[in-house]
């Protein structure tokens, strides 16, 4: 135990020294006189990176020595860093959306299945009759419409929103990834495909919601203002609203709940919707391409920053 | 001793009945005269002639006058009281007069309650079943022979009878179509309740069930080329769902088809004739803002499972295919994911 601790301490001291050395060399190369703040910032980044690399090299070394007992023999030290997956704006969109959708499902499903006792209990006993339940359904509808408009503005107007929207567009890699996942599932390959910021599964989820929003809001609006249209508009709207409502509900309960609740990896719930964060290992596991890009960009930024600052100083 | 007492009672009954036959003859001394009448204070003449053949054809042909008019014990007698049928028609009566739930039902019905509350115009047994002319309901001259029921009810409910007579049901009954409903088929017989009471067969909550008793059965409706899915499509509609959820404001069958003035959609006077539908949908309290397009020339009873519904049928089918395939795909994906996870976990161990 003491030996382990000693080794860890030694390594930390060594890493500290190494990062100081690296920064000093960098300063020598660019031949400028950096501020103290700059030095600490850059040193911290380098230290963090070295700590991470040293621990992953340690893992590798352990695996090579003793392939079976990786998880047990790993030292407890872990330098985990969090990555922001969803910004505040996006998380608020999701919160308003799920509150609205829960309201809509609770007040909508009983009208699709009126013969069930539970439906009658919800509408008659819990909500006090059809008049109240349809009113509450409309409150949920307003919530969903606000989310829809908000998201379109976010996707067009904000930098992150625009970037994410374009990353959501399906491409050939998604088809390849799907095949790769299938091969992984049936055991033809040892590991699944490497995903970027949005995997084909997440793209499917996103566009499924997009389709659902268009159908539900469109048909719902026709039913809300039915008197303005010929009756067959209402009949078509009602049929679509009813069918798509069931499809959406089942998709959410089966597919979305599996991914974010019942999946053994996240059970009972992934908290990303609340804090927006993914841990480093989650990032490396689920979004390796995005992770690599982030790390690469960060290193590049450090170099660029010091370069531009040296220019400014000259 | 016991046997003796039975004998005495038997002899007493025997004498009693023979005495009553005489009494009937006695009654006929006066009541067989066609011109006999009683003058009321108002000057109105009340005929007192009684056609013996009517009683002979009635179900009470073995009864004597005083069996019912038991307040007569001298001749000439005073004005008789109204006969109380319950004198014989009670549970366990010894003369074998039919007795059933209908007496209790009547007491709790809208008519019985009105009588109890002192309404002298409210009907008692005799008003519907007849007094001397209580014929079997199978006899064509009976007041409650099926074809005569509307007229019998119409003696009091004249305005409704006038409307009903012209309706599709009324005309069918007049034409002798026995499947067509008379008043009692919808309103009930002895258990008629106030139409806005929840117990009533024609209340907002129950009327669609009452209509469905015929309009949901192939046997009755197919014969006359009426669509059988009217009840099922109503239940599926928002109006039908609302009704199941206890709403009192949603439309029921009668809201659109009317209560007594029910007519086929080809009849220009019908509330569901294409020309009249905008007015019917746009009723105060329903859809007063309905545009002409909203309500004219459209299918009202939509059955998404029938090809007749056109585009709705195809939308419904398309969504069924989409839903089933998407869910099967997702479930397969989840199953494979779990399977692979289990395999990985085993490999680690």
Closest CA to B169 of B150, B190, B194, B191: B150
Q: Are residues A10 and A149 in the same domain?
A: no
In Å, how far is A22's CA from the nearest CA of chain B?
39
pLDDT at B56: 84
Q: Is residue A247 part of a domain?
A: yes
Taking one residue from A and the other from B, the number of pairs with CB-CB distance under 8 angstroms is: 108
Query: How far, in Å, CA of A74 to CA of A58, rounded?
Result: 8
Least confident of A178-182, A208-212, A276-280, B284-288: B284-288
Give the pLDDT of residue A152: 97
| B15 pLDDT more than 60 | no
Tell me: do A27 and A171 sit in the same domain: no
One domain for residues A74 and A88: no
- Which residues pair with residue B39 across a beta bridge? B45
CA atoms of A208 and B64, how far apart (whole Å): 85
Per the CB < 8 A criterion, the answer to whether A291 and A85 are in contact is: no
Examine residue B65 and state whether it is found in any structural domain, yes or no: yes
What average pLDDT does this structure show over B142-158? 93
Q: What percent of chain B has pLDDT over 70?
A: 92
Task: Mark whether A202 and A252 lie in a shared domain.
Answer: yes
Of A67-71, A112-116, B287-291, give the lowest mean pLDDT range: A67-71
Distance (Å, whole) CA A113 – CA A19:
66
Cβ within 8 Å, pair B241-A114: yes
In a domain, residue B246? The reply is: no
Mean pLDDT over A43-68 rounds to: 81
pLDDT value at B58 more than 70: yes
- Whether residue B16 is predicted with pLDDT greater than 50 in this model: the reply is no
Q: A10 and A114 share a domain? A: no
Q: Does B302 contact A185 at a Cβ distance shorter than 8 Å?
A: no
pLDDT of B13 over the 60 cut: no
Q: Chain A contact for B293, CB < 8 A?
A: yes
- As a whole number of angstroms, the distance between CA A45 and CA B292 comes to 72
| A130·B291 Cβ contact <8 A | no
Examine the pLDDT at A310 and tell me if it is beyond 80.
no
User: For residue B20, what pLDDT is reported?
Assistant: 45
Instruction: Note whether B343 and A270 are within 8 A (CB).
Output: no
Instruction: Classify A167 as helix, strand or coil.
Output: helix
The answer to whether position B217 is within a domain reads: no
Separation CA B200–CA B178 (nearest Å):
23
* B117 backbone dihedrals φ, ψ, rounded to 5°: -80, 10
pLDDT band (50, 70, 90) for residue B3: low
Which of B81, B108, B124 is the endpoint of a domain?
B81
DSSP-assigned letter for residue A115: T
A151 and A278 in a single domain? The answer is yes
The answer to whether residue B244 is domain-embedded is no
Contacts of A186 in chain B (CB under 8 A): 336
B51 assigned to some structural domain: yes
Q: Which of A153-162, A292-301, B165-174 has the lowest mean pLDDT?
A: A292-301
Q: How confident is the model at residue B25 (pLDDT cuts 50, 70, 90)?
A: confident
Number of domains in chain A: 2
- For range A185-213, the mean pLDDT: 93
Q: How many CB atoms neighbour CB B272 within 10 A?
A: 18
Q: Evaluate whether residue A229 is within a structural domain.
A: yes
Let me know: does B297 contact A221? Beta carbons within 8 Å: no
Instruction: Assign residue A155 the CATH number of its domain.
Output: 1.20.950.20
Q: Is residue B296 part of a domain?
A: yes
> In this structure, is residue A297 part of a structural domain?
no
pLDDT above 90 as % of chain B: 37
Which residues 219-278 of A are in CB contact (within 8 Å) with B? 226-232, 234-236, 238-240, 243-244, 246-247, 250-251, 254-255, 258, 263-265
When the pLDDT of each residue in chain B is averaged and rounded to a whole number, the result is 85
Residues facing residue A82 across a β-bridge? A279
Residue A173 and residue A114 share a domain: yes
Query: Is the residue at A308 inside a domain?
Result: no
Report the pLDDT value the prediction gives residue A74, as an integer from 0 to 100.
55
The DSSP secondary structure of A276-297, one letter per residue, reads: -EEEHHHHHHH-HHHHHHHHHH
The pLDDT, as a whole number, for residue A220 is 97
pLDDT at A200: 95
DSSP secondary structure string for all residues of A250-278: HIIIIIIHIIIIISTTTTT--THHHH-EE
Whether A74 and A87 map to the same domain: the answer is no
pLDDT at A180 over 90: yes
The alpha carbon of B300 is separated from its chain's Cα centroid by a whole number of angstroms, namely 27
Q: Please tell me the predicted confidence (pLDDT) of residue B8.
A: 45
Q: How far apart are CA B148 and CA A172, in angstroms?
A: 80
CB contact under 8 A, B315 and A228: no
Nearest beta carbon to residue B311 from set A130, A186, A236: A236
Evaluate whether residue B171 is within a structural domain.
no
Q: Is B118 exposed, middle or buried (0-12, 13-18, 19+ CB in 10 A)?
A: exposed
Which tokens go with A174?
A: 């998604």
Q: A44 and A89 share a domain?
A: no
Task: Report residue A5's pLDDT band, with 50, 70 and 90 as the boundaries.
Answer: low
Residues of B in Cβ contact (< 8 Å) with A285: none
Are residues A139 and A126 located together in one domain of the fold? yes
Closest approach of B213 to chain A, Cα-based (Å): 19
**Within a domain: A124:** yes
Over the stretch A165-176, which tens digit does the pLDDT of each residue have?
999 999 999 999
Q: Choose from A133-137, B107-111, B212-216, B340-344 the range with maximum mean pLDDT.
A: A133-137
Give yes or no for B315 touching A (CB within 8 A).
yes
In a domain, A207, yes or no: yes
Mean pLDDT of B180-206: 91
Position B23 pLDDT exceeds 90:
no
What is the mean pLDDT of the segment spanning B46-61? 86
What six digits make up the tokens of B169?
A: 């049901």
* ipTM of predicted assembly, 2 dp: 0.76
Residues 6 or more apart in contact with residue B144 via CB below 8 angstroms: B128, B129, B137, B152
Establish if A126 belongs to a structural domain. yes
Within a domain: residue B178?
Answer: no
Residue A313, pLDDT score? 59
Buried b (16+ CB within 10 A) or exposed e, A65-100: eeeeeeeeeeeeeeeeeebebbeeebbebbebbeeb
For residue A305, tell me if it sits in a domain. Answer: no
Residue of A124, A227, A258 with shortest CB distance to B294:
A227
Highest mean pLDDT among A56-60, A98-102, B104-108, B234-238: A98-102
Contacts of A227 in chain B (CB under 8 A): 287, 289-291, 294
User: Which residue range forms the structural domain that includes residue A244?
Assistant: 83-289
**Among A56, A79, A102, where does a domain finish?**
A79
| A84-93, A125-134, A221-230: least confident range | A221-230
Statement to judge: residues A213 and A281 lie in one domain: yes
Question: What pLDDT was estimated at residue A255?
Answer: 94
**A200/A194 Cα distance (integer angstroms):** 11
**Whose structure tokens read 């199978």?**
B138
Q: Computed from CA positions of residues B76, B82, B87, B88, in that sequence, does the dihedral angle turn out positive or negative?
A: positive
Residue A278: strand pairing partners: A83
Report the range out of B46-60, B74-88, B142-156 with the highest average pLDDT. B142-156
Instruction: Identify the domain containing residue B280 by its residue range.
Output: 263-300
Read off the pLDDT of residues B200-259 as tens digits, 9 standing for 90 and up. 999 988 898 899 888 888 878 888 888 888 888 998 999 999 999 988 889 999 999 999
Q: Is the pLDDT of residue A38 over 90?
A: no
Q: How far apart are CA B189 and CA B170, in angstroms?
A: 18
Q: For chain B, how many structural domains are there in total?
A: 2
- Which of chain A's residues have a Cβ under 8 Å away from the Cβ of B348? 71
Q: Does residue A121 carry a pLDDT above 80?
A: yes
Mean pLDDT of chain A: 89
d(CA B48, CA B28): 11
User: Does residue A112 share a domain with residue A173?
Assistant: yes
d(CA B151, CA B143): 8
């Amino acid at each position: 135990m003491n030996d382990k601790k000693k080794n860890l301490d030694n390594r930390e001291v060594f890493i500290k020294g190494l990062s100081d050395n690296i920064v000093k060399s960098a300063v020598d190369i660019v031949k400028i006189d950096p501020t103290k703040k700059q030095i600490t910032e850059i040193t911290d980044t380098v230290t963090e990176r070295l700590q991470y690399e040293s621990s992953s090299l340690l893992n590798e070394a352990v695996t090579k020595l003793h392939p079976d007992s990786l998880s047990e023999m790993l030292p407890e030290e872990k330098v985990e860093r969090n990555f922001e997956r969803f910004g505040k704006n996006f998380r608020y969109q999701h919160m308003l959306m799920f509150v609205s959708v829960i309201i809509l499902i609770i007040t909508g499903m009983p009208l699709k299945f009126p013969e069930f006792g539970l439906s009658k209990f919800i509408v008659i006993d819990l909500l006090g009759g059809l008049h109240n339940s349809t009113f509450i359904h409309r409150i949920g509808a307003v919530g969903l419409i606000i989310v829809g408009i908000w998201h379109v503005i976010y996707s067009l107007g904000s930098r992150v929103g625009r970037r994410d929207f374009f990353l959501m567009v399906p491409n050939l890699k998604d088809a390849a990834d799907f095949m790769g996942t299938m091969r992984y599932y049936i055991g033809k390959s040892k590991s699944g495909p490497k995903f970027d910021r949005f995997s084909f599964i997440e793209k499917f989820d996103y566009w499924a919601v997009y389709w659902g929003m268009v159908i539900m809001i469109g048909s719902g609006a026709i039913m809300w203002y039915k008197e303005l249209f010929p009756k067959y508009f209402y009949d078509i709207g009602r049929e679509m609203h009813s069918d798509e409502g069931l499809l959406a509900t089942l998709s959410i309960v089966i597919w979305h709940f599996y991914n974010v609740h019942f999946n053994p990896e996240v059970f009972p719930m992934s908290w990303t919707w609340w804090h927006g964060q993914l841990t480093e290992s989650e990032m490396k596991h689920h979004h390796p391409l995005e992770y690599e890009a982030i790390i690469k960009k960060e290193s590049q930024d450090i170099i660029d920053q010091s370069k531009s600052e040296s220019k400014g100083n000259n | 001793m016991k046997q003796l007492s039975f004998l005495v009672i038997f002899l007493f009954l025997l004498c009693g009945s023979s005495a009553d036959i005489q009494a009937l003859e006695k009654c006929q001394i006066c009541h067989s005269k066609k011109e006999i009448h009683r003058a009321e204070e108002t000057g109105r003449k009340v005929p007192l002639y009684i056609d013996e053949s009517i009683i002979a054809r009635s179900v009470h042909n073995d009864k004597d006058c005083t069996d019912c008019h038991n307040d007569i014990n001298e001749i000439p007698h005073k004005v008789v009281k109204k006969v109380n049928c319950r004198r014989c028609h009670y549970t366990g009566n010894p003369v074998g007069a039919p007795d059933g739930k209908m007496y209790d039902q009547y007491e709790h019905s809208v008519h019985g309650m009105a009588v109890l509350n002192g309404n002298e115009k409210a009907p008692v047994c005799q008003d519907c079943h007849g007094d001397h002319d209580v014929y079997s309901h199978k006899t064509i001259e009976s007041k409650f022979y099926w074809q005569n029921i509307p007229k019998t009810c119409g003696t009091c409910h004249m305005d409704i009878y006038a409307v009903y007579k012209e309706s599709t049901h009324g005309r069918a009954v007049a034409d002798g179509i026995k499947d067509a409903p008379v008043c009692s088929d919808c309103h009930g017989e002895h258990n008629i309740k106030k139409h806005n009471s929840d117990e009533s067969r024609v209340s907002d909550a129950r009327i669609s069930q009452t209509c469905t008793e015929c309009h949901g059965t192939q046997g009755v409706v197919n014969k006359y080329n009426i669509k059988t899915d009217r009840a099922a499509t109503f239940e599926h509609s928002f109006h039908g769902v609302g009704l199941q959820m206890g709403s009192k404001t949603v439309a029921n069958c009668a809201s659109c088809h009317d209560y007594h003035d029910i007519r086929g959609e080809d009849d220009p006077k019908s509330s569901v004739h294409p020309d009249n539908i905008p007015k019917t949908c746009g009723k105060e309290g329903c859809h007063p803002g309905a545009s002409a397009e909203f309500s004219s020339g459209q299918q009202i009873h939509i059955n998404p499972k029938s090809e007749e519904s056109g585009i709705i049928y195809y939308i419904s089918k398309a969504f069924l295919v989409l839903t089933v395939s998407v869910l099967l795909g997702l479930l397969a994906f989840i199953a494979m994911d779990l399977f692979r996870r289990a395999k990985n976990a085993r490999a680690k161990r």
